Amino acid sequence: MRFLHLHSSFDAGGKELRAARLMNAFGRSVSHAVVSSQPGAHGAAVALDPMLDVVYPRDFPSLQGSPLPARLLRVAKAMRGFDLILTYNWGAMDAVLAHRLYARTLGLAPLVHHEDGFNEDEADGLKRSRNMFRRVALSGAAALVVPSRRLEAIALGEWQQPPSRVHLILNGIATGAYHAAPPADAVPGLTKQPGDLWVGTLAGLRAVKNLPLLVRTFAALPPQWRLVIVGEGPERAAIAAQAAAMGIAERVHLPGFVPEPSRVVGLFDIFALSSRSEQFPISVVEAMAAGIPVVSPAVGDVAQMVAAENLPYVAPAGDEAALARALAELAADPSMRGAVGAANRAVALAQYDEDAMICAYRNVYGAAMGPGSFP
C-alpha cells in the first residue's frame, strides 16, 4: 500500500512525531510519500524506522498559494496513485479542497484529514473565513481525526462536520519507555549535576509556544534551578534574548531537538508549558508517564489530561502572574512534586498508552479504504 502524507512542515513537532510513530507501527507493508510545503523541513524523519520505504517528493506542487482551480487541479493530479491520502492541519487545507473538487474525476484515493491545533494567527480565535473554507473542503473527506475534546466540539460546531466523520483519538505514547530514570548526561551538551533542579519542556521553538514567557516565569526561582528547553525552531534567538534580558542566560539551556523524549524527560523535576494555544499536547503525556508534575496554562485539554492532584498548578490561560506562582509553589515543595508526579504517572498508564491510539488510527484508516484493505 502507498500512503501520501501532506504537511505544511515535517519538522519535529507533536503531530509529525505522532505520524512517524504510526508509520513505524504500520511497518513495511506500507510505503510512504511525505510532502512538506516548507523545503527541507523534514526534521521528524529522524524518528522513522530506517527500514521503512519513505520518499520526499521534490516536485509535488506547493500546498500554499491562491486556491484557484488550475492550481488545485495540479495538486489533485499529484495525489494520484496512492491508496490513502493523509492531510494535516490548516497548512494542507488547499489539498483537502483539491481532493473535494477532483477526487471523483481523477479517481483519487480516500482522504483522512487530521487537525491538531492552530498556528499563531488563530491562537486567540478562529477566523471565520477559514471556518467556511474548512466546511466546504472537509465535506469530501472520509474522516476527520482530532486529538482533543475542544477540537471535537469545534469540528462539530464551527466546521459543521457530521458526527460520523469526526473521530476523537487521544494522543498516546509508549508509556513503558518512560519508567527508567535517564542518565545525567542524556541531554546533548548538558549534564545534570548533583543538587541541580530542572524545569524542563519539550517544544518546537515557535511563537505560539510563548517560550519567552516561560523564561520570565522561571527567572525568580532560586539559583539551583535551571530551565531546559528541548526543541528547535525559529524562536531560538528570541528565547535566548529574553534569558539575557532577565540576567539568567547561564541558567537557561537550549540543547536542540532530541528524537527520543523518553531519554530526557525523566531528568526534569517540573515540566512546564507556556503556550498560547494547545489541544492535547503529547509532551504533557510524556511528562506524566515519567512521573513529573506539570505547570501549564489552562489551554486545550490540559486541565482534563493531568491528575486531580496536578490541577492546582494549571493556571488560568493568559495569566502570567498565576503561572509564575504555580511554578514557584511547586518548586518550593519537593514532597508535593513527588506526589503529583506519581499521580500523573498512574493516569498516563491507565489512559494514554499508544497501543490504543495505534489501534484507533488503524481502524479509521481501514474504514476509509474499505473492508479488508488495511489488516
State residue 364's pLDDT score: 97
State residue 14's pLDDT score: 80
> Domain check: are 314 and 337 in the same one?
yes
For the cut 80, the answer to whether the pLDDT of residue 116 exceeds it is: yes
Three-state secondary-structure class, residue 4: strand
> Domain check: are 195 and 315 in the same one?
yes
> Domain check: are 258 and 284 in the same one?
yes
Q: At what angle do helices 236-245 and 211-218 cross, to 10 degrees?
A: 20
Whole-angstrom CA distances from 207 to 17, 210, 232, 274, 309 are 19, 5, 12, 11, 30
Find cell 505522532 and name the residue: 18
Residue among 112, 116, 125, 100 nearest 152 (CA): 116
Q: pLDDT confidence of 243, banded at 50, 70, 90?
A: very high
Q: pLDDT confidence of 29, banded at 50, 70, 90?
A: very high
Cell (9 digits) for 117: 491545533
Q: Kindly state whether residue 210 falls inside one of the protein's structural domains.
A: yes
C-beta separation of 284 from 215 below 8 A: no
Q: Kindly state whether residue 62 falls inside one of the protein's structural domains.
A: yes
pLDDT in tens, 299-322: 989 999 999 999 999 999 999 999
| DSSP secondary structure string for all residues of 157-193 | TTT---TTTEEE----B-GGGGSSPPPTT-STT----
Q: Kindly state whether residue 374 falls inside one of the protein's structural domains.
A: no
> Domain check: are 272 and 151 in the same one?
no
- Domain membership of residue 274 as a residue range: 176-351
DSSP class of residue 138 equals: H
User: What is the pLDDT of the chain when averaged over all its residues?
Assistant: 94
Q: Kindly state whether residue 316 falls inside one of the protein's structural domains.
A: yes
C-beta separation of 229 from 211 below 8 A: yes
> Domain check: are 277 and 317 in the same one?
yes
Query: What's the rounded mean pLDDT across residues 71-97?
Result: 97
Three-state secondary-structure class, residue 332: coil
Higher pLDDT, 159 or 41: 159
- Angle at CA 211, nearest 5°, toward 259 and 228? 50
Cα–Cα distance for residue pair 285/106, rounded to 1 Å: 41
DSSP class of residue 51 equals: T
C-beta separation of 10 from 32 below 8 A: no
* Number of folded domains that form the chain: 2
C-beta separation of 12 from 34 below 8 A: no
Q: pLDDT confidence of 118, banded at 50, 70, 90?
A: confident
Q: Kindly state whether residue 73 falls inside one of the protein's structural domains.
A: yes
Tally the residues of the chain: 375
> Domain check: are 128 and 92 in the same one?
yes
pTM equals 0.78
For the cut 90, the answer to whether the pLDDT of residue 343 exceeds it is: yes
Q: Kindly state whether residue 375 falls inside one of the protein's structural domains.
A: no
> Domain check: are 118 and 163 in the same one?
yes
pLDDT in tens, 98-108: 999 999 999 99
Higher pLDDT, 173 or 12: 173
For the cut 90, the answer to whether the pLDDT of residue 193 exceeds it is: yes
Cα–Cα distance for residue pair 171/124, rounded to 1 Å: 23
> Domain check: are 191 and 147 in the same one?
no
State residue 371's pLDDT score: 85
Q: Kindly state whether residue 275 falls inside one of the protein's structural domains.
A: yes
**Domain with 142 in it: what CATH number?**
3.40.50.2000
Radius of gyration of the chain from its Cα atoms, rounded to whole angstroms: 21
Whole-angstrom CA distances from 81 to 78, 84, 373 are 8, 9, 16
State residue 320's pLDDT score: 96
> Domain check: are 333 and 214 in the same one?
yes
> Domain check: are 311 and 340 in the same one?
yes
Contacts of 21 (CB under 8 A, 6+ apart): 47, 354, 358
Q: pLDDT confidence of 123, banded at 50, 70, 90?
A: low
